[in-house]
Amino acid sequence: MEDHQQAESPQNLPNAFKNDRASSLRPAPPCSAWRTAAHLYFPFITVALYMTFGSPFNTIQANIICIVLSAIPTYWLASLFYPTDRPEPTPRQAVRFSRKSDIYRAAILYTYRWLFGTPFNLQFFLADFATTYLISVAIAERSAGTQQRRSEFIVHLTLVAINAVLIFVAPSFLGHILSLIDRMIWRAAYIALVDDVVGVLTRPNLKTRKGNVLLVVTQAFTILLTSWMLLRWKRDLILSYQNDEEFQAALAGLELKDASDDVGLDFEDDGDRFLVDDEG
């Protein structure tokens, strides 16, 4: 009887069971960086395909629907690579994207002007970059390594709403100051929005249905906004060339050359003017 109890004691369990228990307590091995960022990269791959091959539809509404629905196969393909056993991040690992480097923050702020097609101004850009840190202090942004807010964009959006009310009710002599504050808050809110989007795409909650739906919606928003911003950038680039005198002169010369070829005339370019000589 004593031998039987001794055989069933925990000290005499087979080594295989002990190894399985130890392996279950061992932390999961780290995953490769490109796999953990699959849901972040694939929306931009979808955007690149749209920019390269275009949309099969001719109407704006159909193109928007097509772009939004493309988030579903994007999500499915990214899920094939994203690790399902990824451990939860520590507070020190959960650092906002714009706080990892000033270069990231500057790059995000640079794309803000594409939303409205405003020309680039270095002085305003440097001032806006510095004021984003002032807004971070004003909203008591939590330091790295501590528990972060669920959404920084909602906090900034609240500030936008409060400042908008103050602009309407404040005395007129404060209007200019409040307008400057409004400019600062909107740019800081845009950076916070990008941080929230990157956070959802790099750390998605795939354990719940709500988390999966949020991931698909965020990918659709990323694809749609990025495509729209690139089209705005392309349009601004074309408009800048149209206002360039040298480009207009070269374009006029090409059109004149095509016209002279059609009627059988000789075309001469002396480097300054475009001349057409009639030999007949």
For position 149, what pLDDT does the model report? 77
Q: Does residue 264 form part of some domain? A: no
Residues 40 and 178 occupy one common structural domain: no
Q: Is the dihedral of CA 199, 60, 186, 235 positive or negative?
A: positive
For position 161, what pLDDT does the model report? 92
Residues 195 and 62 occupy one common structural domain: no
96 burial class (0-12, 13-18, 19+ CB within 10 angstroms)? buried
Q: Does residue 191 form part of some domain? A: yes
User: Rounded to 5 degrees, what angle do the CA atoms 193, 178, 99 make?
Assistant: 30
Residues 196 and 242 occupy one common structural domain: no
For position 47, what pLDDT does the model report? 93
Q: In which domain, by residue range, is 61 found?
A: 33-82+206-246
Q: Does residue 240 form part of some domain? A: yes
Q: Does residue 56 form part of some domain? A: yes
Last residue of a domain, one of 183, 203, 223: 203
| Ordered mean pLDDT values, 10 residues apiece, the chain (280 residues) | 48 47 48 78 92 82 88 92 78 78 92 81 91 83 71 89 89 85 92 92 88 93 90 75 63 63 54 48
**Domain count of the fold of the chain:** 2
Q: Does residue 4 form part of some domain? A: no
pTM higher than 0.85:
no
Residues 140 and 198 occupy one common structural domain: yes
Residues 140 and 78 occupy one common structural domain: no
**Spatial distance between the Cα atoms of 223 and 230, rounded to a whole number of angstroms:** 11
Q: Does residue 94 form part of some domain? A: no
Amino acid letter, 264: G
Per the CB < 8 A criterion, the answer to whether 86 and 31 are in contact is: yes
Residues 76 and 210 occupy one common structural domain: yes
271's tokens:
């480097």
Residues 195 and 125 occupy one common structural domain: yes
For position 216, what pLDDT does the model report? 94
Residues 198 and 214 occupy one common structural domain: no
For position 257, what pLDDT does the model report? 61
Q: Does residue 189 form part of some domain? A: yes
Residues 188 and 236 occupy one common structural domain: no
Residues 129 and 166 occupy one common structural domain: yes
Residues 229 and 194 occupy one common structural domain: no
Residues 193 and 215 occupy one common structural domain: no
**Spatial distance between the Cα atoms of 135 and 153, rounded to a whole number of angstroms:** 12
For position 75, what pLDDT does the model report? 93
